[in-house]
Amino acid sequence: MKHALLIVCAAGLLAACAGGGNSRYAMQHDSAPDDDFDASRIPDAVPRVEPRSRYGNPDSYVVNGRRYYVKSSSQGYVERGHASWYGKKFHGHRTSSGETYDMYAMTAAHKSLPLPTYAEVTNLENGKKIIVKVNDRGPFHPGRIIDLSYAAAKKLGMTGKGTAPVQVRAIDPRQPARPMQVKQQGTSSRYIAARMGRQVPEKSADTAQPAPASSYTNSEIFIQVGAFSSRDNAEQLRTRLDRQFNNLNVAAAFHDDTRLYRVRIGPLASREQADRLIERIILNGLGQPRLIID
């Protein structure tokens, strides 16, 4: 796991940050803290209006050869995917926002949300919810959408497994008690099954309310590889993927809300299968894959 604090730096720190993780961290591998503690006693982050970080919000940045784009606003953001956590290796080091990482605080890392952003994270396996302050960049492991501090992950009940399916919803600090009235990504859309020349309705998920723990078992897992305003471009990518993965369903999805054609593979049998396919897609330079759970 490598965070953008290694590459998003003030000019004076660029040389030190660009050198990689070997000289920056005393530990080679991450781990949980040595002492056990009751995470339920740690209060959630309290949303408040703050200025944007001077160093944590470039227009874009590159990690491991891939470019990431920072959102201009967190307004309306809600997404489902998988969360991971980071702990002792990074404790006490500077985050991408300039704050010091504290594995006992309720914070998180995200690839594209502006820093800082406050977000509600729901564990879709057990229904637990927390509120965190997003003040760092990451995770850069395929298929993960958020990296939680160890305390946040422990409070969410996911440290034993290491990852968990979650919903992440940005909170408006001006109205922290009021959920943003938004649609979950991937809703109000229709799939165009290009190879069959017919429309396939997408499973409806028009609510931003967290699903109960049991619903994740019945959810469908997809990999989104690209999004295009042009159907021709979407079809070209679909054709390339179809050749590479000819035993899987590859479709160009047109979304009414964004007016984009999104190219997806799936539904897939398991998260493990999705992770393996994401690695293959990246290695073959076929797109920018993301794990999608509907």
Which residues, other chains included, contact 237 with Cβ-Cβ below 8 Å and sequence gap of 6+? Answer: 225, 226, 228, 263, 286, 287
CA distance linking residue 256 with residue 125, whole number of Å: 30
In sequence order, the β-bridge partners of residue 81 are 166
Residue 216: the pLDDT is 41
In this prediction, residue 219 carries a pLDDT of: 67
Hey, what CATH topology would domain 4-171 get? Barwin-like endoglucanases (2.40.40)
Per-residue pLDDT reduced to its tens digit, 174-200: 876 544 433 333 322 222 233 223 333
Order of strands, sheet of 290-293, starting from the edge strand that comes earlier in the sequence: 198-201, 189-193, 250-255, 260-268, 221-228, 290-293
Q: Higher confidence at residue 183 or residue 274?
A: 274
Q: How far apart are the C-alpha atoms of 287 and 227, rounded to whole Å?
A: 10
pLDDT tens track for 203-219: 333 333 333 333 344 56
Instruction: Give the pLDDT of residue 142.
Output: 85
State whether residue 242 is helix, strand or coil: helix
Distance CA 249, CA 237 (A): 13
The three-state secondary structure class of 271 is helix
CA distance 131 to 120: 4
Q: What is the pLDDT averaged over residues 257-277?
A: 82
Report the pLDDT value the prediction gives residue 218, as an integer from 0 to 100.
53
Q: What is the pLDDT of residue 224?
A: 87
Structure tokens at 39: 């995470």
Distance between CA atoms of residues 132 and 150, nearest Å? 12
CATH 3.30.70.1070 fits 189-199+211-293, yes or no: yes
Using pLDDT thresholds of 50, 70 and 90, give the confidence band for residue 242: confident
Q: What are the residue ranges spanned by the domains of the chain?
A: 4-171, 189-199+211-293
Average pLDDT over residues 70-77: 92
CB neighbours of residue 13 within 10 Å: 13
Query: Is the CB of residue 291 less than 8 Å from the CB of residue 277?
Result: no
Q: How high is the pLDDT of residue 31?
A: 85
Q: Enumerate residues 6+ apart whose C-beta is below 8 A from 294.
A: 80, 186, 202, 203, 205, 219, 220, 222
A 10 A CB-CB count for 135 gives 28
Helix ranges (H only) for 75-184 are 150-155
Pairing of strands 107-109, 117-123: unpaired
Q: Report, as an integer, the average pLDDT of 82-108.
A: 94
> How distant, in Å, are the alpha carbons of 3, 4, 21, 149, 293 from that of 152?
17, 20, 24, 5, 22
What pLDDT, on a 0 to 100 scale, did the predictor assign at position 44?
A: 94
pLDDT of residue 176: 61
For residue 273, the SS3 value is helix
What pLDDT was estimated at residue 223?
87
Percent of the chain clearing pLDDT 70 (strictly above): 76
In sequence order, which residues have a C-beta less than 8 Å from that of residue 270 and are 6 or more positions away? 221
257 — pLDDT class (breaks 50, 70, 90):
low
Instruction: Give phi and psi for 59, each to the nearest 5.
Output: -60, -40
Structure tokens at 68: 């990431």
Tell me the two tokens of residue 36.
């056990």
Cα-based angle 132, 138, 143 (whole degrees, multiple of 5): 100
Query: Look-up: residue for tokens 């992770």?
Result: 275
* Higher pLDDT, residue 259 or 12: 259
Q: Bridge-partner residues for 228, per DSSP?
A: 261
Instruction: Give the model's pLDDT for residue 90.
Output: 93
* pTM score over 0.85: no
Chain centroid to CA 63: 15
Pick the more confident residue, 130 or 178: 130
- What mean pLDDT is reported for the chain? 77
